[in-house]
Structure 1
Amino acid sequence: MNGPDGGAEPAPAKINLALHVRGRRADGYHELETLFAFTRFGDRLEARQADGWSLSLTGPTAGAAGPLADNLVLRAARAFEAQAGGRRYALTLDKHIPVAAGLGGGSADAGATLRLLNRLAGEPLAEADLERIGAALGADVPACVRNRTAIGTGVGEALTDAAALTGMGVLLVNPRVAVPTGPVFKGWDGQDRGPLFSDWRQARNDLESPAIALQPVIADVLDWLRALPGVSLVRMSGSGATCFALFEGAAPEVAPPEGWWAVSTELL
């Protein structure tokens, strides 16, 4: 089903291949330079025409997604309607992305909502318009609307397309601890360690240290990933706690230590 009466859209998980914090702004936000990439693993959104907006959640991480009224899917749907009108839908979100994990779960879902509703409405809005709507919902939402490898500056909302890394294997691992974004940024030491250049492999994630200070187990995840054969790069994504290992070929199917969450996937 993929017409005006309804359809479906993937919501790929976001990872930050690099994340440089350059400064703290007067408004309390931080100036960032980051490289966004997206994985084949993620959530999935379905829409079926209805008299009004509604949202139901399924999937293994649905229970941690918080109150439905605050969900970014409904907020994105109403923001789209305010800009472009159109039909209303009963929405079903199949949740697989862990919550508060540095994978942009809510932002990915909002991005998928805006793409899907725009398509069902006959593409009345350009991608740039959808990104502007998304920016009012969260700093990562514009990147998740674009849904392809991009450099983000500002608070992450100013985007420039980057070379695709399609097919590169990635192993995502989370020790099943939630790391709220605010405290991690608050723990940043304020030191500008330099810009993000074109060689992102030589870059860094400036939020790793403050995230580890809050949840020391993140350091254990990074060490475990570095010890895997064939790994080419290990880093934490976003504000954590999910870490990733990149592989030139397919990511291995490995069992993580007991209690940790892991998924083998690839970059889009």
Structure 2
Amino acid sequence: MRSKNPVLNRSAAFNPQAGYQAGRVPQYQGQGFDPYSAPQPVDRMTMDDVVTKTALTLGVVVLAAAFSWFLVPPALVGVAWIGSAIAALVVSFLVVGRRGVRPGMVIAYAALEGIFIGIFSSFLERLFPGIVVQAVIATFVVAGMVLVSYKMFNLNRFASRISRGLMIATGALAVVYLLNFVLSMFGVHTGIIGYGPQAGGLAFIVTAVAIVLATMNLLVDFAAIEDGVRMGAPAEQSWVAAFGLTVTMVWLYTELLRLLSYFRQN
């Protein structure tokens, strides 16, 4: 299955049409090319690699979130929140846009994203005590249910069918969020994004749609990673897989956190 996740889609390792052979480096014509030499074996990506790298990146997210929660001065909260969001977006584009794997950029993204969600989580926790623990539990429950369902019902083929439409829908939602952010900078409140019981029906609908899209993206991520392992992707591609999963998990957490706030009283 060719992944529609923009992170995994950039890597030939997750693309069955790219010509990767299990455990071997693709050969190219050029200086020093020997058509009679055998391809050199390389380390292959495994599920253990992906799990380890994903645990590392999520651990960095948690540590950075704890740092921003407890150590960022109140006077700098606004700057740190907006700055980390913009910086994380820039770094994510750099990770997606580069052909080579840059583990440092993946870790940098995790740290910046951690600062962002740490400040956001701290803000909502002060308003609605206990909501962060609920959101964390809900995120891992949803991810676990998606993984179990994927394995039990062999949803690889289903993920392939929905991947194109999912990419379009996710991109459209990203554009809506970006426009809402730009308008909010000029004092225009669209009601698309909110928090708390006063958020309104439109915010509830958008958040519910976002949670469905994030869940479906997680399913497609699992399928793409499984394809990469089966095709013998190089071990370094586990960083790409970990990055893609981290992006989706953080997105799912923030949407669940916002959804839970709609049902809480100040």
What TM-score does the superposition give when structure 2 sets the normalisation length? 0.27
Higher strand share: 1
Larger Rg: 2
What TM-score does the superposition give when structure 1 sets the normalisation length? 0.27
Query: Which structure exhibits the higher relative contact order, with contacts defined as CA atoms closer than 8 Å and separated by 6 or more residues?
Result: 2
